[in-house]
Amino acid sequence: MRNLRNVLVLLMVFLSITTGLWAAGQQEKAKAPVEIVFWSHLGESPEFVHAFAEKATEAFASIGLDNYSVKAEIIDYSSYEQKYLTAFSSGKGPDIFFGRATDWALEYGINPIAVPFRADTQKVWDEALIDFMSKQGVIDGKRFGIPYEASVGQMLYYNVDHFIEAGLDPDKPPTTLDEMAEYARILTKRDNNGNITRGGYGLRYLGAGGGIWDKFRTIYHQFGAVALSEDGKTANGYINSAESLAGFQYVYDLVNVQKAISTTFDMPETAFKQGLVSMIYREPWLIASIAEDVPSLNYRIAPIAGGPVGLVAKQIPLDGWNYLVNSQSRHIEPIMDMLIALCNVEADIYIHEKRQTPPVIEAAFDSDFVRSLPYGNVLTAYNDSLLSPEYAQLGGSQATTIAGEEFVKMVMGGQTPKQAVDRAAVRMDQMLRTL
């Protein structure tokens, strides 16, 4: 009996120690650092990318997950799709990534990997987002991502000194495409050999076709053109319509009639900062870049010029960029909790201050930051304007990339506008049929 008692006591002691050790181990495991990897291809705004990671880390801490941190990694834009796909295929993809919901959403995207938001997370963001951004990242009623900025798309940047030198009034930037073409002609300067030394308008013709299309469509849509059918499956009859041809012809004339575009300068934003072009279309992020690189540049910002259909188009692409969550991530639930915590005005403003772009939360619009943005006039002009066509359908971004390539061939003198739109139609339809 005595021996049995001793054995029982020893057993209880052993169990207590073992349980204590196990519990301590669990606690240690729970506190082990967790690194959430975030990939973005916004290499032109590294502070913006890291600000998101910083605020996301703070959001984790605010919900008691102070062992969680978010690490931002910047991926080169020109090959980001390949890098993403390779990483996801091998199971080594990031937990959060920057991309188009229409490309990556589970069940809907060409390469389905992004998980739909949890119901409560979606509810929080649906209610918080400013109205004109509320549909971005949403497919069939499911939210897959958070828009990265309240996109106003392109704005007109113009060099005030060039305007004055050319005898133009800098208080009266062009408001119509006809005016813009005329201004571009007047602002252009040439050397003795006829080579353009200063372009009146800086056109995007370098880089990926998608980026080229993105800038061109700001002009293209002004003619009432649309590149694809509503279901996104047909380009013929749309990209080669009369309205579409008019859009291509406009730029073709800028190159060959007004002769206001150089095809040897670097990217338009670089050429603008160098003083080599007088007007460009670019998004709000360029402001921070100019402030850093060329703070003495004397420029202003205006709404984009309107076209024949009277459309002051606000580029609110539903095929825009979002913060997406990888369905392979082992931390989906904590990330969903973090995203709820991240939905606050302070974080939104902090992040967008780095890039000088509009925040996405409606409440943040009534802030000193938004009021301080140098393009308040643009925000006002765009506020009630019509939305431009979008290409959020499956394969839409890939199809319009092809249109961008044919556009460049035309700009470079390799084909006429008619040839460009006809070839684009054939190639786009061929690509769409393979999906």
Partner 1 sequence: MKLTRYTLLEKKYAISGLLFIAPAFIYYLAVFFYPLLSAIYSSFFRVNVLANQFTFIGWKNYVDTISGQDFQHSVRVTLSYIAMFVPMIMIISVSLSLFITQFPPKVSSFFIVIFILPFISANVTAGMIWNFILDPVIGIVNTVTGSSLAWFRGTQTALFSVVIVGVWLRIGFDVIILVGSIKGIPQEIYEAARIDGAHGWKQFFHITYPLINPTIILVLTLEVINSFRVFGEIMSTTGGGPGGATKSLMIHLIKDVFPISYGRASAISILLVVSLIIISVLQRLLKKSVQY
Footprint on this chain of partner 1 (rule: CB under 8 A): 78-79, 81-82, 85, 88-89, 110-113, 193, 195, 205-209, 263-266, 276, 395, 398, 402, 405-414, 423, 426-427, 430-431, 433-435
**Residue with smaller CB distance to partner 1, 95 or 406:** 406
Residues 332, 117: Cα–Cα separation, whole Å = 9
**Residue with smaller CB distance to partner 1, 345 or 426:** 426
CB of 17 to partner 1, least distance (A): 46
**Residue with smaller CB distance to partner 1, 276 or 288:** 276
**Residue with smaller CB distance to partner 1, 212 or 342:** 212
CB of 431 to partner 1, least distance (A): 7
**364: helix, coil or strand?**
helix
Residues 390, 76: Cα–Cα separation, whole Å = 25
Q: Are the CB atoms for 326 and 115 separated by under 8 Å? A: yes
Residues 359, 216: Cα–Cα separation, whole Å = 25
CB of 211 to partner 1, least distance (A): 10
**Residue with smaller CB distance to partner 1, 98 or 365:** 98
Residues 143, 129: Cα–Cα separation, whole Å = 12
CB of 165 to partner 1, least distance (A): 20
Please report, as a single letter, which amino acid is at residue 416.
T
* H-helix or E-strand spanning residue 293: helix 286-293
Number of Cβ within a 10 Å radius of residue 123: 13
Q: Which residues, 6 or more positions from 11, have their beta carbon under 8 angstroms from its beta carbon?
A: none
CB of 324 to partner 1, least distance (A): 13
**Residue with smaller CB distance to partner 1, 191 or 384:** 191
CB of 253 to partner 1, least distance (A): 18
Q: Which residues, 6 or more positions from 297, have their beta carbon under 8 angstroms from its beta carbon?
A: 159, 273, 275, 290
* Rama region for 337: left / alpha / beta (φ>0; ψ in -120 to 50; rest): alpha
Q: What is the SS3 assignment for 43-64? A: CCCHHHHHHHHHHHHHHHHHCC
**Residue with smaller CB distance to partner 1, 46 or 413:** 413
Residues 55, 59: Cα–Cα separation, whole Å = 6
**Residue with smaller CB distance to partner 1, 287 or 402:** 402
Asked whether the CA dihedral 176, 181, 183, 184 is positive or negative, the reply is positive
Residues 269, 293: Cα–Cα separation, whole Å = 11
CB of 420 to partner 1, least distance (A): 9
**Residue with smaller CB distance to partner 1, 185 or 409:** 409
Q: Which residues, 6 or more positions from 17, have their beta carbon under 8 angstroms from its beta carbon?
A: none
